[in-house]
Amino acid sequence: MNESSSMILFGATGDLAQRKLYPALHRLYKKRKKPFAMIGVARRPYNHETFREMIKNSVEAQGETCDQSFLDTCFYFSLDVQDTENYRGLKELAEKVDLDFGLYGNRIFYLALAPEFFGIVTNKLKESGLTKGNGWKRLVIEKPFGRDLESAEILNKEIRSSFEEDEIYRIDHYLGKDMIQNIQVIRFANPIFESIWNNHHIANVQITSSETLGVEERASYYDRTGALMDMVQNHMLQMVALTAMEPPSRMVTEDIRDEKVKVLRSIRPVDVSNVGDLIVRGQYGSGTLPNGLPAIAYREEENISRDSETDTYVAAKLFIDNFRWAGVPFYIRTGKRLKTKSTEIIIQFKEAPANPYFKTFTNMKPNLLVIHVQPYEGITLKLNAKNFAHPMDTLPIKMEFAHTDEFNTTSEAYERLISDCMRGDSTNFTRWDEVALSWHYVDGIKEALKKKNPPLAFYESGTMGPIAADDLLAKDGTIWWPLSQ
Ligand code: BG6
């Protein structure tokens, strides 16, 4: 398939475009050497020059020198997304750019916009004929995809009236991270792991995505959303699905997605009878930042109400009710203002039988396989070895693989995902049924919490979260294994 294309980017003056998309497009432009052009669309009355200046600044903010030839491929069109007339002008510009750059009418429409505009924009794109070029068309949309299953279904219906499912690329930027993409290879290309990747050998799985940042400038979005919808509904459940899925019959997009869907469908629903045992919701109080400075409580943050009940932390115990995973808890946790910025997937293997020989070894630890997603990227296998200083005990040792030792350039998630979209590979984007099943699970939790109304568990900023989250594991006789970063 021809990979030359234009990108028509809505939300071109927004935060995401400036922080992530322009640096990613610039790097891709330099690597791919494929005909490409971009039309930035937003309401501000910029012209091509002011737009290029903004792009240059955002690339240089990453410490890179911006290529003039890249800037020459960037154009700006000022548009009010509700105004039908305006789309004609955009179509004319798109057609001119197609011809000038030899892009065969291939178009990526990237909506870096609030979801309430998705339906309007896709509808107008169709009405104006922008989606009817000679080439292929693709739609890239950002989360949040709805606020619950019902709103997600409405949104999906709106989009689907202009784009087919296989033309829709729903971004979950975690799927663009190198070590997340590595999970399938680690599992399926290494028979030593795959043969023990089940409830006979695995005691539990722990998935953590911790952040040191607080709500920052996103109060109006975050306070209506919270960690359950902001992180669990998408990134956390995607990591669960990739860790737990069956090997697909072929390593092709739809087969991989089918296997993820089966996992999401097998997650035991949370309801009012079990919510207290499975879910912990927390909110950060004041405390200390990792740099030693004082941190204020969530309720003291600007534009957050003083009695906000929003969760900035969620820990959950999930069960995947299928043959492979029956009885194995998957513990997940995510939160803001925690002690470290780190994402890790830890597989805890069952312990060696406590026969008389091993009984004397007080230092023996369970084997752990740690997939370090970020900021450090790699794999660690934690083992026990003979301790020659104390012959009657073992010594915990580790075998490590550092991703950056092997590959000196790693790609940023957005760079990978945009490149996949240009190549027409939607494997690392979420299909509609994945989104729907994730909402189904999260809606169950929200409903149960509403009925049961358990108090929020407050935690001190700069710690690893509320005590109640430790209790969740302590009840099962285990702990959250310390993160490496
Ligand atoms: C986003 C959330 O999807 O992911 C943010 O909306 C969160 O609240 C971010 O901070 C975390 O991403 P990363 O890549 O920094 O772990």
CB atoms near residue 121 (< 10 Å)? 25
Assign 358 to helix, strand or coil.
helix
Q: Average the pLDDT over 335-349 and give the result.
A: 97
**pLDDT at residue 58 above 60?**
yes
Choice among 26, 173, 235, 372 that is catalytic: 235
> Which tokens is 379 given?
């794999």
Does the Cβ of 211 fall within 6 Å of ligand 1?
yes
pLDDT tens for 470-481 read 999 999 999 999
Assign 5 to helix, strand or coil.
strand
Residue 130 is predicted with a pLDDT of: 95
Best of 174, 218, 220, 235 for a ligand 1 pocket test (most atoms within 8 Å of beta carbon)? 235
The H or E element spanning position 57 is helix 48-60
In this structure, are residues 111 and 141 in contact, taking their beta carbons and an 8 Å threshold?
Answer: yes
419 CB burial (10 A radius; 0-12, 13-18, 19+): buried
CB atoms near residue 68 (< 10 Å)? 9
Does the Cβ of 230 fall within 6 Å of ligand 1?
yes
pLDDT tens for 88-133 read 999 999 999 999 999 999 999 999 999 899 999 999 999 999 999 7
- Give the Å distance between the CA of 333 and the centre of ligand 1: 14
**pLDDT at residue 410 above 70?**
no
Q: Average the pLDDT over 443-466 and give the result.
A: 97
CA dihedral 182, 183, 187, 188 (to 10 degrees): -60
Residue 355 is predicted with a pLDDT of: 61
pLDDT tens for 364-376 read 889 999 999 999 9
Higher-pLDDT residue of 176 and 406 is 176
**pLDDT at residue 485 above 60?**
no
**pLDDT at residue 35 above 90?**
no
- Is there a catalytic annotation at residue 201? no
Residue 405 is predicted with a pLDDT of: 82
Partners of residue 60 on adjacent β-strands? none
By residue count, the chain amounts to: 485
pLDDT bucket at 160, cuts 50 / 70 / 90: very high
**pLDDT at residue 391 above 80?**
no
- Give the Å distance between the CA of 35 and the centre of ligand 1: 31
Does the Cβ of 172 fall within 6 Å of ligand 1?
no
- Give the Å distance between the CA of 71 and the centre of ligand 1: 28
- Give the Å distance between the CA of 279 and the centre of ligand 1: 21
Ligand 1 atom closest to residue 235's alpha carbon, by position in its atom list: 3
Mean of the per-residue pLDDT values for the chain?
94
**pLDDT at residue 273 above 70?**
yes
